[in-house]
């Protein structure tokens, strides 16, 4: 028996992810119309590094981060247990995005594509896109989910239903018994063994998810950026953002992985909003748009036919 | 051999804690001078309940909570493992306080006294007080730590150094490599076996910690509530509060215990501030008061001789 050299290398993947970061930043600058990303290059003590790009005080984007990283080193014991693996040496590369818009009618968006490798046998892709509207607009939710379904269907018609349900389960704020937003798609540990697809095909899917980001978010910005909003609606946005903080600090495994592998803190926590408010025992007014949004923050909603 | 009936019962302890909650609320209303606590009584599905008291929009206190709870039920598997115990049925009672003041010159304060019981052999007291100044004032830090030392010394001269070091270790934001504030005292699982004191004496100590809260915080309010502050100083306060959020959601075991035992969410998360801001890669100005405070957020500082 002899080992096949894998067709796709770590370098291919991180190079493709860097290109995706570049094109997303360009697309977001155009969609924002008013600001440019600032870049910080960083290296990690344990090995590797990244390019953190932050856009602040834009016309549309209050703060957004588009991170690329490619890190390697020894896996902490805790993560080894969580991943149920024995190997120590890991390589991980990915692009992570969180955008907090200024206007509460524009949704918060998150995207991540990532690749993780312990050795030639133990390697996988993960990622997803999910949307957190401060106010859920059915037509936007339908556009978002249909776009993702189209991307998924072009690879495998089982992907959308499988990854949509996975997102519902993953982006769930257990202690509030509410979803973070309207979900989207989430997948992890995708490999030939659990997809019936080659590694090349999964890599192509990962890139397609990354490339779908700009067309999706540019459209959602265009639809909503000029909507007028009141101070009360801005306050509601701050409250929804505090739920976003709760999810990211209590449940998000990307954040946990970053904190536990001594990642660059400012890059990991760029997902947190510029401002978040906690109101004690907030109860929306009966029949209000805030109440309707809260009522829709549930698993298992079919968003395709808005 | 026969079992001694313990002198102190669960009911004695929860009754004493309720009295402490009452007197703290009264003391805080006087110190604030402008607002009164609102109370919510709640019961927990698994057993027990509590009295949550919240003061909002006071003259001094932007938001503060003084919680009493006495809950019982079955311990979740995760907690059993963390506690390294085999028993299922637990009883827990305590008073928890977090105060977020309006004026950045007044520190955030936290206090907790608690009692946990699985059975007559497995039961203990825990708790502590710690201070999180937005700006560290040496004379206030000295007052605070000397007050705690006096309380501790009246029970056992080993308590203050032991519990001060414990607070330094516990109130530590690992991913930032900074302490949450200037610490104070923290202790857990205090029982006759590890203190050379009777259960009665430890209970007395627990009450003394609770009773020290008002004299300490009323003094810190008096000293600082009328200090003028700028918008920049208020912004710094929001940034320090975001670190408080990070600690509470990522590390605080009281919060974790509450979330995992399906505690009342609004009571558990009343520790979070009304508003917190995250500034990407915030760097204080060289030589500024903000920088001096950051430089002091370290373990092992001797605050007694300010």
User: Tens-digit pLDDT profile for chain A (306 aa)?
Assistant: 455 555 789 999 999 999 999 999 999 999 999 899 999 999 988 889 999 999 999 999 999 999 999 999 988 887 788 778 777 899 999 999 999 999 999 999 999 999 999 988 889 999 999 999 999 999 999 999 999 999 999 999 999 999 999 999 999 999 999 999 999 999 999 999 999 999 999 999 999 999 999 999 999 999 999 999 999 999 999 999 999 999 999 999 889 888 887 778 999 999 999 999 999 989 999 999 999 999 999 999 999 986
Residue from A202, A204, A205, A160 nearest A183 by CA: A160
* pLDDT of B108: 98
CA distances from A286 to A9, A292, B203 (A): 55, 9, 47
Q: Given CB atoms, is B177 within the 8 Å cutoff of chain A?
A: no
Alpha-carbon torsion B191, B196, B199, B203, what sign? negative
Pairwise CB contact (< 8 Å): A250 & B259: yes
* pLDDT of A257: 83
* CATH number for region B10-295: 3.40.1500.10
Q: Are B133 and B144 in contact (CB under 8 A)?
A: no
Q: Phi and psi of A136, rounded to 5°?
A: -80, 125
Q: How far apart are CA A225 and CA B121, in angstroms?
A: 63
Pairwise CB contact (< 8 Å): A176 & B265: yes
User: Residues of A numbered 205-264 whose beta carbons fall under 8 angstroms of chain B's beta carbons: which are they?
Assistant: 238, 242, 245-246, 249-250, 259
Q: Are B188 and B126 in contact (CB under 8 A)?
A: yes
Residue in B with minimal Cα distance to A263: B175
**Which member of B274, B277, B281 has the closest CB to residue A274?**
B277
CA distances from A198 to A12, A155, A201 (A): 16, 11, 5
Q: At what angle do helices A159-170 and A138-153 cross, to 10 degrees?
A: 130
Helix segments in A154-229, DSSP class H: 159-170, 192-195, 199-224
Q: Are B116 and B124 in contact (CB under 8 A)?
A: yes
Q: How far apart are CA A136 and CA A236, in angstroms?
A: 13
User: Is B110 a residue of the active site?
Assistant: yes
Distance from CA of A270 to the nearest CA of B (A): 7
Point out the catalytic residue in the list B72, B100, B110, B175.
B110
Q: Given CB atoms, is A274 within the 8 Å cutoff of chain B?
A: yes
Q: How far apart are CA A226 and CA A233, in angstroms?
A: 14
Residues of chain A in contact with residue B266, where contact means CB-CB under 8 angstroms, are 280-281
Distance from CA of A269 to the nearest CA of B (A): 8
Pairwise CB contact (< 8 Å): B273 & A270: no
* 10-residue stretch averages of pLDDT, chain B, 306 residues long: 66 97 98 94 90 96 96 85 82 96 98 93 94 98 98 98 98 96 97 93 98 98 98 98 97 88 87 96 95 97 91
**Which member of B54, B63, B278 has the closest CB to residue A269?**
B278
Q: Where are the domains of chain A?
A: 10-295
Q: How far apart are CA B163 and CA B183, in angstroms?
A: 10
Residues of chain B in contact with residue A238, where contact means CB-CB under 8 angstroms, are 275
Residues of chain A in contact with residue B40, where contact means CB-CB under 8 angstroms, are 281
Q: How far apart are CA A232 and CA A175, in angstroms?
A: 25
Q: Given CB atoms, is A265 within the 8 Å cutoff of chain B?
A: yes
Radius of gyration of chain A (CA): 19
Pairwise CB contact (< 8 Å): B259 & A275: no
Distance from CA of B188 to the nearest CA of A (A): 23
* pLDDT of B1: 46
pTM of the entire structure? 0.94
* pLDDT of B241: 98
Q: At what angle do helices A231-250 and B231-250 cross, to 10 degrees?
A: 40
Residue in B with minimal Cα distance to A259: B175
Q: Which of B66, B274, B281, B283 to mutate to test the interface with A (most CBs of A within 10 A)?
A: B281
* pLDDT of B34: 82
Element (H, E) at A121: none
Instruction: Please state whether A112 falls in left (phi above 0), alpha (psi between -120 and 50) or beta.
Output: beta
Pairwise CB contact (< 8 Å): B280 & A265: no
Q: Given CB atoms, is B64 within the 8 Å cutoff of chain A?
A: no
Six token digits for residue B254: 């009281």
* pLDDT of B92: 94
Q: What interface predicted TM-score (ipTM) does this complex get? A: 0.92
């Amino acid at each position: 028996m002899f080992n096949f050299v894998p067709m796709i290398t770590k370098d291919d993947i991180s190079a493709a992810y860097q290109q995706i970061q570049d094109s997303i930043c360009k697309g977001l600058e155009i969609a924002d119309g008013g600001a440019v990303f600032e870049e910080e290059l960083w290296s990690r003590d344990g090995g590797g590094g990244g390019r953190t790009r932050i856009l602040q005080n834009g016309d549309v984007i209050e703060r957004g981060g588009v991170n690329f990283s490619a890190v390697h080193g020894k896996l902490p014991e805790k993560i080894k247990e969580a991943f149920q693996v024995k190997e120590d040496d890991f390589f991980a590369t990915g692009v992570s995005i969180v955008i907090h818009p200024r206007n509460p009618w524009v949704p918060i968006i998150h995207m991540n594509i990532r690749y993780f490798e312990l050795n030639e046998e133990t390697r996988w892709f993960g990622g997803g896109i999910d949307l957190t509207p401060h106010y859920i607009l059915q037509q936007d939710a339908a556009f978002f989910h249909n776009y993702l379904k189209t991307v998924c269907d072009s690879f495998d018609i089982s992907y959308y239903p499988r990854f949509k349900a996975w997102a519902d389960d993953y982006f769930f704020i257990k202690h509030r018994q509410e979803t973070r937003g309207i979900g989207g798609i989430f997948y992890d540990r995708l490999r030939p063994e659990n997809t019936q697809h080659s590694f090349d095909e999964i890599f192509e899917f990962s890139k397609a998810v990354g490339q779908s980001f700009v067309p999706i978010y540019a459209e959602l910005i265009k639809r909503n950026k000029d909507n007028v909003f009141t101070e009360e609606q801005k306050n509601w946005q701050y409250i929804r953002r505090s739920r976003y903080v709760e999810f990211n600090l209590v449940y998000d495994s990307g954040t946990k992985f970053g904190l536990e592998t001594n990642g660059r803190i400012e890059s990991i926590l760029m997902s947190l909003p510029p401002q978040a408010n906690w109101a004690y025992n907030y109860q929306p007014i009966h029949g209000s748009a805030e109440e309707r949004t809260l009522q829709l923050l549930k698993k298992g909603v079919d968003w395709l036919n808005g």
